A = this chain, B = another copy of it.
Amino acid sequence: MPKGNVLVGQSGGPTAVINSSLAGVFRTAMERGYGKVYGMRYGIQGFMDEQYVDLSTHIKNELDLELLKRTPSAFLGTCRYKLPEIHEGKEIYERIFELLDKLDIEVFIYIGGNDSMDTIRKLYDYSLLTGAKQKFVGCPKTIDNDLAITDHTPGFGSAAKYIATSTKEVICDALGFSYKKKNVTIIEIMGRNAGWLTGASALSAGEDCDGPDLIYLPELPFDVEAFTNRVRGLLEDKDVVVVAVSEGIHDANGKYICEMTAGSETKDAFGHIQMTGTAAYLASVIHNELGCKTRSVELSTLQRAAAHLTSRVDVDEAFAVGGATVKAADEGDSGVMVVIERLSDDPYQSTTGIHDVHRIANGEKVVPREWINAGGDYVTKDFLDYMRPLVQGQYNPMTVNGLPRHLNLKMNNSEWIK
């Protein structure tokens, strides 16, 4: 009996390698003899409105596949949509499964983080209740590295590499200006609850760079006064201080540091309270308290979109986990997420496995306390040993006219050609 079709979607915040996983799904589905590979536009949200594409009309050859692996953001578009519990929204499930049958979908793959795995879990549970034929498999993705069970998540290594490289460059820049004046730079890095990415800034340290002086993760409470005193102390011995902070640092009561400015009457032109960045706030505190020149650098969406600076290990693993989702379904698994298992640190070796999605969905893996130093202002050698293999190797962009070339949905379709 010929195989049916595969449906794949992307969900949540993008990464620089989320499309490498999509490429892996497509490639393995073709190799294993599935019919078509449909891509949901804007995840399950768009799919429910019958927004989907036939990927073979967009990925026509190996070059397209390679371009896709180098394209940032979600190629298919993404969404942040939470399915209701089954008993609260049965009609939504009926609608989705009706569409799956209509398109003869045999395998449903969702590339995403915690919330996306929650979607896989619910659809799988529904399929058990109704005896639906489809297999549901999750493909891990998040720059935040906060998924449970898997050693790490695709997307994390490339974001970490971008952050470490940018931190190194920012430190270099700050050092150039240090003659007879002190300066403090504060770099703000993504991660509301998990400090993996902020800790990655420490990878900048080596023979040619001292790395940041202080690193603050959201796993521990942050005290503005203690921080100010710490910087004051450092400035007695050196002229340039660089600090990396998570956007999610908060005080002992759980109040985000970025809310502190707002709390003290920072309003915009219209009288609305404005969220000022964590780094900008701390830079103003240091400037006002210590009088030195300060600068804040927010890495912003650049850190999840910088496809021009990815880790080869990450791109390859993202591709591999994409393929492994199809393989898992083809071998009869459902209600699982593919995980990365580390076989060896040095030389670094990894493989893929599968794991019950119920144990992953909605969990959150934060940096263990023992990987943060006693003072709570740096990461330990164990943290760095864990990280370092994940940022190795380049995956250079293909450039046209001096800029990286990406693949997009407009390029190969008739709308574009006419």
Q: Which residues of A contact B (CB under 8 A)?
A: 10, 14, 41-42, 45-46, 51, 71-74, 77-79, 161, 164-166, 168-170, 172-180, 203-204, 206-209, 260-261, 264-270, 272, 274, 276, 280-281, 284-285, 288, 295, 297-298, 300-302, 304-309, 311, 388, 391-394, 396, 399-408, 411
Chain B, residue nearest A80 (CB):
B177
Q: In the complex, A394→B402 CA distance in Å?
A: 8
Q: Which residues of chain B come closer than 8 Å to A284, judged between CB atoms?
A: 268-270, 272, 274
Q: Which residues of chain B come closer than 8 Å to A164, judged between CB atoms?
A: 402-403
Cβ of B179 and Cβ of A46 under 8 Å apart?
yes
Given contacts A301-B170, A401-B388, contact A411 B208 (CB under 8 A): yes
Chain B, residue nearest A312 (CB):
B402
Q: Which residues of chain B come closer than 8 Å to A280, judged between CB atoms?
A: 274, 276
Q: In the complex, A79→B177 CA distance in Å?
A: 6
How far apart are A44's CB and chain B's nearest CB, in angstroms? 11
How far apart are A416's CB and chain B's nearest CB, in angstroms? 9
Cβ of B269 and Cβ of A208 under 8 Å apart?
no
Cβ of B308 and Cβ of A309 under 8 Å apart?
yes
Q: In the complex, A281→B274 CA distance in Å?
A: 10
Q: In the complex, A272→B174 CA distance in Å?
A: 25
Q: Which residues of chain B come closer than 8 Å to A285, judged between CB atoms?
A: 268-270
Given contacts A399-B394, A406-B168, contact A173 B267 (CB under 8 A): no
How far apart are A66's CB and chain B's nearest CB, in angstroms? 14
Chain B, residue nearest A387 (CB):
B402
Q: In the complex, A402→B393 CA distance in Å?
A: 6
